[in-house]
Amino acid sequence: MTSDTATTDLMGDVGQSKRFLNRRRRETGLGYLMLAPSLLIFSVFVFYPFFKNFYLGFFRTPPFPGLPARYVGLDQFREVLTSDYFTNSFRVTIVFALLTVPAGIILGLLLAMVANQRLRGIGAYRTIFSSTVATSVAVASVIFGTLLNPQVGLLPWLGLTTNPAILENPKYALFAVAVTTIWQNLGLSFIVMSSGLQAIPDEIIEATEVDGARPWTRFWRVTLPLLSPTVFFAFVVGSIVAFQTFGQIDLLTQGGPIDKTNVLTYAIYKALRDQNEGKAAVLAVALFGVTLLLTTAQMRILERRVHYGN
């Protein structure tokens, strides 16, 4: 009798788990079906080009169009990645990121803190501060190209002239493009920092006032730690954006003078323009690698100092 009951129970269990498995399988199938459209689009526009790019790096593009590309294995990688052209480009990209990212975050944060005050007419400032978001790279570049123009620009009007002109000056060209970029990104940085500041509860700031913290202490000990997830986000995303800068380089300097503003994306573009697909592919892989390494490093090292809320 006892064993009978046990058997039935066991059978019941088996039946149940079978039904459960069937249901799970059906749900999984439905899940993939729903994912299919985006998977398809990603495959065509992201995954395939991504892997194809690695593949292209193994083939040397012949010097004359029309000849077949030749498989050279890793030779081309070694060649391109050890060339002065690449190391210069790499250095320019790093310097450009160092010039634009921290300055963009600090200025955005400063503006956000100003705009976070409860003052009459502060809304107008908020609009002005965030207005560069609505400005395209092309417009920003034209504005700064004009301002920096040696004949009609603002600098000569102020009596600040360089020889050669600033955008053709190996010493200042990258700096000038960086300033344009900081200005262009300031609106977004301001909005991100503002939203971060507004997420800090008023009562916490009031508590610091009652507790006797001076503004400086309040900023370093309370505001900044509570803002750290936002700053970290801005840092990672800002770095990736800086590494992909193209528009303002193309419009203002075309990578010159003497490759002083030839960031990696522009170097890739130039290789493609010269119809050297192989070289462009290797440079693209390098850019991917650098971005990946840097982002991972930021995640590993900086995230430890980030405080996420409750």
How distant is the alpha carbon of residue 59 from its chain centre?
A: 29
- Euclidean distance between CA atoms 250 and 254, whole angstroms: 4
How many other C-beta atoms can be found within 10 angstroms of the C-beta atom of residue 128? 13
Closer residue to other proteins, CB minimum distance, 78 or 307: 307
Least distance CB 308 / other proteins (angstroms): 9
Closer residue to other proteins, CB minimum distance, 9 or 209: 209
Least distance CB 222 / other proteins (angstroms): 6
Closer residue to other proteins, CB minimum distance, 222 or 241: 222
- Residue 302's H or E segment, with its range, is helix 277-302
Closer residue to other proteins, CB minimum distance, 68 or 212: 212
Structure tokens, 190: 């301001």
Least distance CB 310 / other proteins (angstroms): 4
Q: Give, in order, the Cα–Cα distances in Å from 221 to each of 205, 214, 217, 231.
A: 11, 10, 6, 15
- Euclidean distance between CA atoms 247 and 135, whole angstroms: 13
Least distance CB 114 / other proteins (angstroms): 21
Closer residue to other proteins, CB minimum distance, 46 or 204: 204
Structure tokens, 206: 């009031």
**Alpha helices (H) in the chain, listed in sequence order:** 2-42, 48-56, 75-81, 84-115, 122-130, 137-147, 154-157, 173-198, 202-211, 215-217, 224-243, 247-252, 264-273, 277-302
Least distance CB 57 / other proteins (angstroms): 45
Q: In the Cβ-directed half-sphere of 209, how many Cα atoms lie within 13 Å?
A: 5
Closer residue to other proteins, CB minimum distance, 215 or 289: 215
Least distance CB 21 / other proteins (angstroms): 39
Residues that bind other proteins (CB under 8 A): 201, 203-204, 206-214, 217, 221-222, 225-226, 307, 309-310
